Amino acid sequence: PGDVSPDGGAGAEATVEPVVVPGPGSIPGPPVEAPYQAYTAPGSYSYDEPYTPLINNRVAPRVAPPVRPIAPPPEKIRVGNFVTDIPQGMSKRDVNSINAWSAYGEAKIAQGLISAGVPEDEATRRAAATIIGVMAGGTAGA
């Protein structure tokens, strides 16, 4: 980030959160195509402004670069927009597998949306909302 000085110090108003990368899981991890990025809590939204979900810039699909998966906050499970404490009794390896595969799936959904012409910020929001349903459906079907 531009707000960090070369000696590692940050400006008076700047804080740089560490990125928590999931460690080894209970199942093989997903492919690593891009480094993790730090988790940022979503802003609050209201119904005061209209929402227009239509994609106005229709383009032919193009190759999109890999999207950086979002690392979970420390000591949390993150599946898209859903962030929760780790349940008592859940192993660290299971937590790592959930976080790694959730972040990977979210990144691949965002990459697909970007390749279809959706702006990156909107694609990442849609992917975060979509992966919750993907994980819930996969869990229910298992």
Q: List the one residue out of 40, 37, 27 whose CA is nearest residue 67.
A: 37
Give residue 35's pLDDT.
85
Residue 92 placed within a domain:
yes
> Is the pLDDT confidence value at 40 over 70?
yes
pLDDT tens, residue by residue, 112-122: 999 998 899 99
Q: Which domain holds residue 125?
A: 76-141
Residues 84 and 92: their CA atoms lie apart, in Å, by 14
Residue 67 placed within a domain:
no
Residue 82, class by beta-carbon neighbours within 10 Å (0-12 exposed, 13-18 middle, 19+ buried)? middle
129 or 24: which leads in pLDDT: 129
Q: Give the pLDDT mean for 92-121.
A: 94
pTM of the model: 0.71
The number of domains in the chain is 1
How is residue 94 written in tokens? 């299971």
Residue 133 placed within a domain:
yes
Q: List the one residue out of 136, 127, 28 whose CA is nearest residue 69.
A: 127
Residue 84 placed within a domain:
yes
